[in-house]
Amino acid sequence: MIYLNGFKQMAFETFAFIYDEVSDHSLYERWLDFSLRHLEGRKNLLELACGTGELAIRFAQKGLQVTALDLSEEMLMIASQNALNEQAEIQFVEADMLDLADIGSYQAVTCYSDSLCYLEDEKAVQMTFDQVYQVLDDDGLFLFDVHSLYQIDEVFPGFNYHYQTDEFAFLWESYAGKQPHSIEHFLTFFIENEQENFIRKDELHLERTYPLATYQLLLENAGFSEVQIYADFVDNPPNEKSRRWFFVCHK
């Protein structure tokens, strides 16, 4: 299961161009279903860390007015072409979710695919929550997910994944990180060039999560009045082996 998005702290130049090839596309339908259950008619939506645009396209196809943001130019190039292919009307913006000034106001903001786990530290998470709160309309909604402690501390260490086609090979290996509740994903690519030689490129992707109480405190600091927490795409509370925590935050 591949679900990474582009941020300032990461190098996604190579990964962007094979992202759709190695993604688990069934997850996008689950993110969509979770969102539609909770949006309650809100139509004007900002998607943070949109990657190659697959979820943004699905939102647009459901009649939402979508602005999709990412920091990776390469991701946005692919996202724009994907939206054109699907005849989906989406406004794409190259920007950092740590600074959403002049991005407009929205009835809802989403940030899925554990994208917040790529932020450098707790301070950056707080900054993002503060920025989201500012761009939300009154009674706006913030939906996001993060990896659980169990996923980061127990499941990911030692994980490896290999994928190969005639044009490229992709290797993913994960190791426990240096910070508490962090993980290092080491990605290796072998990509065929015009001379039919394979060129190796490496990328290091760092993820980090925090206890549920930390996320709740940061959201409270940002001003969110009510926060519901669910797990693994369904509207059930987390348990000790939940892998992905979902937050529904009301302004």
Q: What is the 3-state secondary structure (H, E, C) of 94-155?
A: ECCCCCCCCCCCEEEEEECCCHHHHCCCHHHHHHHHHHHHHHEEEEEEEEEEEECHHHHHHH
**Mapping DSSP to helix (H, G, I), strand (E, B) and coil, where does residue 212 land?**
helix
State both tokens at 109: 């903001």
Is the CATH code 3.40.50.150 the one for domain 15-149+210-250? Answer: yes
Please state the CATH superfamily assignment of the domain spanning residues 151-207 in this structure: S-adenosyl-L-methionine-dependent methyltransferases (2.20.25.110)
For CATH 2.20.25.110, list the domain ranges present in the chain. 151-207
pTM: 0.89
- Numbered ranges of CATH 3.40.50.150 in the chain: 15-149+210-250
**pLDDT tens, the chain, 251 aa long:** 233 333 333 334 445 555 555 556 789 999 999 999 999 999 999 999 998 899 999 999 999 999 999 998 888 988 999 999 999 999 999 999 999 999 999 999 999 999 999 999 999 999 999 999 999 999 999 999 999 999 999 999 999 988 887 777 888 899 999 999 999 999 888 877 666 677 888 888 899 999 999 999 999 999 999 999 999 999 999 999 999 999 999 99
